[in-house]
Structure 1
């Protein structure tokens, strides 16, 4: 089953962030075309913690 959460409308984000293994990929294509991948266990863990915090504090639809 798919689960979703929504950020408050005041938070605008046109950039995609993907976290996998020990990597964080950042992809932006609306206003500026760029993408990069950072391989860092510490950064990936931090981003996972931020994701989980947002997940648990964002309202369900």
Structure 2
């Protein structure tokens, strides 16, 4: 999901998106640990997607506080 799609969501939807990304990242880490993960790049992609969503969430919270 790119930044423009994330910016269109509200705070609750962003928190839900972060939660689902964290779960997906955990599953990928478990697959890597059991050597079932075929695409190691997906770990970095999910990590960056989590960071992107958290950044946009922080921007929205900061904007709402002002």
TM-score range, shorter chain: 0.3 to 0.5
Instruction: State the TM-score, normalized to the length of structure 2.
Output: 0.35
Return the structure number with greater helix share. 2
Instruction: State the TM-score, normalized to the length of structure 1.
Output: 0.37
Of structures 1 and 2, the larger Rg is shown by 2
